[in-house]
Amino acid sequence: MESLKYHRLQQRLGYTFVDQKNLQLALTHRSHGATNNERLEFLGDSILNFVIGEALFKKFPEAKEGQLSRLRSQMVKGETLAHLAREFAFGECLVLGEGEMKSGGHRRDSILADTVEAIIGAIYLEAGLDSCRDRLHSWYAERLAALSLETTVKDAKTRLQEHLQSLQKPLPEYNIVDVNGEAHAQLFTVECKIATLSQSATAQASSRREAEKQAAAAVLARLGL
């Protein structure tokens, strides 16, 4: 049953691992033990940023650095990677520790996103950069085709900062209000304060950065922006 599950996943990925242990390692979360996919995730993150950056550089020869950076950020962010993982049905193949299994870790965006990066790293180690590039171009084909320079929308933190700068007001203050959960599944509650609002806005997410963005978006909504 296990081999059939892996076989189907590789069909969806469009790549069959020569050594199935590489695939199993890429699917193994750190909650399962010391032998896990963290190193592969680190490698895959670097390759993903390079390959998508290269693709955007070629697709938009007239784009400025800031536009390319925002487009790449949109393509490689955790939410996009989690969507990819769900398209490939990674969840059913993940190797998780007992705690993560009970808490629904196979559905958690951060775990799914990290696993995509680990898979990329594993393909690179086994088959090289050209194979990684080929797979990523295939996985991202529809998303890349749908992009235009008009989609380089600035994130909420940037928009809020630029709005306050235009009014010559102090920049936003972001403070961590609370951190809950185990080390591998933390939730950050962040508060965003600005001088023009008497009441701050808070948001919760699986990373400090994402919580700050959501808190900034809540402030923008209160400002009617």
* Secondary structure string (H, E, C) spanning 101-168: HHCCHHHCHHHHHHHHHHHHHHHHHHHCHHHHHHHHHHHCHHHHHHCCHHHCCCCHHHHHHHHHHHCC
Q: Give the residue, 13 or 222, on which the prediction is more confident.
A: 13
Which one of 97, 125, 151 terminates a domain? 151
Q: Is 212 annotated as a binding residue?
A: no
Pairwise CA distance, residues 114 & 40, whole Å: 9
Query: Which tokens is 126 given?
Result: 């086994």
**Do residues 70 and 163 share a domain?**
no
Lowest-pLDDT range of 45-59, 114-128, 150-164: 150-164
User: What percent of the chain lies above the pLDDT cut of 70?
Assistant: 97
Active-site hit among 45, 100, 109, 212: 45
Segments forming the whole domain that contains residue 191: 156-222
Query: What 3-state DSSP class applies to 36?
Result: coil
Q: Is 41 annotated as a binding residue?
A: yes
182 Rama class: left (phi>0) / alpha (psi -120 to 50) / beta: beta
**Do residues 182 and 213 share a domain?**
yes
**pLDDT tens-digit profile of 4-33?**
889 999 999 999 999 999 999 999 999 999
**Do residues 161 and 209 share a domain?**
yes
Domain count, the chain: 2
**What is the arithmetic mean of pLDDT over 55-74?**
91
**Do residues 171 and 133 share a domain?**
no
**Do residues 105 and 206 share a domain?**
no
**Which pLDDT score is estimated for 3?**
83
**Which pLDDT score is estimated for 153?**
60
**Do residues 125 and 166 share a domain?**
no
**Do residues 135 and 163 share a domain?**
no
Which one of 96, 123, 151 terminates a domain? 151
**Do residues 76 and 165 share a domain?**
no
Pairwise CA distance, residues 174 & 166, whole Å: 19
**Which pLDDT score is estimated for 1?**
46
**How far from 3 is each of 23, 94, 107, 115, 159, CA to CA, in Å?**
11, 13, 22, 18, 48
* CB 42, CB 53: distance < 8 Å: no
User: How high does pLDDT run on average in the chain?
Assistant: 90
Lowest-pLDDT range of 11-15, 50-54, 128-132, 180-184: 180-184
Which one of 110, 133, 151 terminates a domain? 151
**Do residues 119 and 175 share a domain?**
no
Pairwise CA distance, residues 134 & 55, whole Å: 11
Other C-beta atoms closer than 10 Å to the C-beta of 182 total: 10
Pairwise CA distance, residues 83 & 91, whole Å: 11
Q: Give the residue, 3 or 57, on which the prediction is more confident.
A: 57
Active-site hit among 100, 109, 117, 210: 117
| 45 is annotated as an active-site residue | yes
* pTM over cut 0.85: no
**pLDDT tens-digit profile of 119-133?**
999 999 999 999 999
**Do residues 193 and 85 share a domain?**
no
Which CATH number is 143's domain given?
1.10.1520.10
Q: Is 2 annotated as a binding residue?
A: no
**Do residues 108 and 126 share a domain?**
yes
Question: pLDDT category, 152, cuts 50, 70, 90?
Answer: low
**Do residues 24 and 7 share a domain?**
yes
| 19 is annotated as an active-site residue | no
